[in-house]
Amino acid sequence: MSVIERMLGRPDGPGDDNNGSLTIAPMRKRDLRQGILDTEAHAYPTPWSPGVFQSEIDQVAGGSRYYLTARRSSGTASGSRRSSKGRIVGHAGLWFTLDEAHVTNVAVHPDARRTGVATALMLALAEEAIRRECTAWTLEVRVSSDGAQELYRNF
């Protein structure tokens, strides 16, 4: 049984964990400066520019793209807007072509890695691909990205 089959069926969903509550929600342009660009700069040798993200988000409404932001709330929110909504710790996206879903980006901030954020994002992408009845799920990974290869192998 794949991780998708195992985790999509679990009652508490992929967003609950032991490291604070993880929330996955559609990416908004204002998320870019609130954490996404910082994570992106840490994640890739050639990070996407704000313009690339904005162009991708612009295509969501037409149905050819799907982008998500992961936020983690520590559970010790002081009442401020930022702390109650949580801190942005990762992002991911899909590009739909015909009946295929292609993973365009998965990145997690270095200080939030190995806590299940990418797994939760990938599961949410998989749910959307299944909902749209995609028959294929593709991605590209750098040969040097051992962590990403291991993550993808789980799927």
Ligand X SMILES: CC(C)(COP(=O)(O)OP(=O)(O)OC[C@H]1O[C@@H](n2cnc3c(N)ncnc32)[C@H](O)[C@@H]1OP(=O)(O)O)[C@@H](O)C(=O)NCCC(=O)NCCS
Selected binder of ligand X within 116, 123, 124, 126 (CB under 6 A): 116
Site for ligand X in 20-59 (CB under 6 A): 43-44
- To ligand X, the closest distance from the beta carbon of 79 in angstroms equals 28
Q: Which region among 45-53, 80-88, 114-122, 126-134 touches ligand X (by CB under 6 A)?
A: 114-122
What is the crossing angle of helices 117-131 and 146-154, to 10°? 50
Of the residues 117, 123, 124, 126, which one makes contact with ligand X according to CB under 6 A:
117
d(CA 56, CA 77): 32
> Which stretch, 26-34, 75-83, 126-134, 138-146, contacts ligand X (CB under 6 A)?
138-146
CB of 57 to ligand X, least distance (A): 19
Q: Are 15 and 21 in contact (CB under 8 A)?
A: yes
The answer to whether residue 126 forms part of the interface with ligand X (CB under 6 A) is no
State the residue for tokens 């050819």.
Answer: 64
Report, in Å, the least distance between residue 113 CB and ligand X: 3
Q: Does 119 bind ligand X (CB under 6 A)?
A: yes
Cβ-proximal residues to 66 (8 Å cutoff; 6+ apart), any chain: 60, 93, 94, 96, 125, 128
- Exposed, middle or buried, 105 (CB in 10 Å: 0-12/13-18/19+)? buried
| Token pair 């840490």: residue | 42
| Site for ligand X contains 142 (CB under 6 A) | yes
Residues forming the site for ligand X (CB under 6 A): 43-44, 106-108, 113-119, 141-142, 145-148, 150-151, 154
